[in-house]
Amino acid sequence: MMMNTLKTDGDHYWADRLMATLHTMKKFLFPTDFSDDAKHALYYGYNLAKQVKANVIICNAIIEPAEISQAGLVTWPIEESDMLLKDSHHELSSLKQHLENKAETISYNPTITCMEQAGTVLDVVNGITHDKNIGLVIIGTHGSNGLSTLLLGNHSRSMIDEINKPLLLVPPAATITPVKKIAFATDFQDPAYDLNCIINLITLARPLNAEILVTNIFDDGLHNHEVFMKELTARANYPLLYYRLVKAYKPEAGLDWLCEHGQIDILAMVHRDHTFIDSLFRGSLTQKMANHIPIPLLVFPTIIN
C-alpha cells in the first residue's frame, strides 16, 4: 500500500519547520493542582528540561464560581478570591524554591517562571501556550485510575481534544531517568502529518541523543513503510531513526507489548478521532492501558500551532 507524502515547497519548508520547532521546544509549561502526582510530573519534566536546555513555566488556574442570581446561590466574595490567589502564589513559590535548590553548577539550570490566573484550566493553559510560545505541556496522572482521570479532573478530555501543543502525560510510576528511546506509534492513517509530528519530536530527542522508534501497529494489510522512512530520513537528518512492525489483533494489545518489551522511555502518538489513540482515552480501555503504561505518554494534537 503506497502512502500519501507531504505536498510542500521542498526543502525550504522542512528547514523552516525544523527552525520553528527548535525554538518552541525551549519552553515547557506545567499546569499544576499541587497534588503529589502533579509534583512528580513537575520533577520529571524539570529533569527533562535540564537535558534539552528548556525553560519552565509553572501555572495554576484559579477557578472561581460564576455569579449566578439564583435562589440559594451567592456571589463569590472578593476576600475569598484574594485568599485563593495568595494560596496559589505561596504554593507556586514553594515549588519554584524546591526546584532551584536542586540547581547544579555543572549543568544547565532552567529559568523558572510562576503564573497564577483566574479561569478554567483549558483557557489558562491555551492562553499561556499562545502568549509564551510553549513547545510542550506536561501534566501528571492519578495513580488509582491512570490515564482515565488526569490530575486536572474533568478538564482532561477537553485538554486532550483542544490543546494545540504536544501534551506529555506523566504517570506516578514514571522513573526520573535519562530518556534514551522514544517510540512513535502509528497506524499510518495520515502519514504526511505523522512526518510532521516526528520532525517535531526530533527537536526533543536530539539533545537527549535518544532513539526514535517508528512503530506501525496493525492487524491486517501492510503499509509501505520503506517509502515513509526514506522520506523521513532524508528530511529529518537524524541518524537515530528506526522502524518496527508490531502485528496485533487489537491496537491496545500491540501497545501493551511495545511498552512491556520495547525498552522505551516515552510512548508518542497522534490524537485523531476514530483511531486507536481516540479509543485509548475512552472508558475502561483507558484504565486497562494505564495499568500497562508506567511510562510517560506524549500526545500530539491534530494540528500543532
| pLDDT value of residue 142 | 67
CATH 3.40.50.300 is held by the domain 25-69+77-170:
no
| pLDDT value of residue 192 | 85
Domain spans of the chain?
25-69+77-170, 178-296
**Topology alike, domains 25-69+77-170 and 178-296:** yes
CA 151 to CA 32: how far, in whole Å? 8
| CATH class of this structure's domain 178-296 | alpha beta
- Strand 146-150 relative to strand 241-247, pairing: unpaired
Average pLDDT, integer, range 19-41:
80
On average, the pLDDT of the chain sits at: 77
Phi then psi for 98, rounded to 5 degrees? -60, -40
Highest mean pLDDT among 81-90, 193-202, 215-224, 257-266: 193-202
Average pLDDT, integer, range 151-166:
66
- A 10 A CB-CB count for 265 gives 19
- A 10 A CB-CB count for 16 gives 12
| pLDDT value of residue 206 | 93
Is pLDDT of 14 > 90? no
- The three cell numbers of residue 241 are 531513526
| pLDDT value of residue 219 | 65
| pLDDT value of residue 248 | 67
For residues 3 and 228, the answer to whether their CB atoms sit within 8 Å is yes
pTM: 0.81
- Strand 167-170 relative to strand 297-300, pairing: antiparallel
| pLDDT value of residue 71 | 44
List the beta bridge partners of residue 213: 183, 242
Closest CA to 156 of 286, 249, 56: 286
Average pLDDT, integer, range 288-299:
70
Closest CA to 235 of 269, 209, 199, 200: 199
Where helices occur in the chain by DSSP H, the ranges are 11-24, 36-52, 78-100, 121-131, 156-162, 191-205, 225-236, 251-261, 276-280, 283-290
Is pLDDT of 189 > 90? no
Closest CA to 184 of 92, 98, 298: 298
Where helices occur in 104-150 by DSSP H, the ranges are 121-131
| pLDDT value of residue 235 | 85
Average pLDDT, integer, range 144-152:
42
Q: What angle do CA 194, 57, 36 make, to 5 degrees?
A: 95
Whole-Å CA distances, 18 to 15, 134, 206: 5, 15, 12
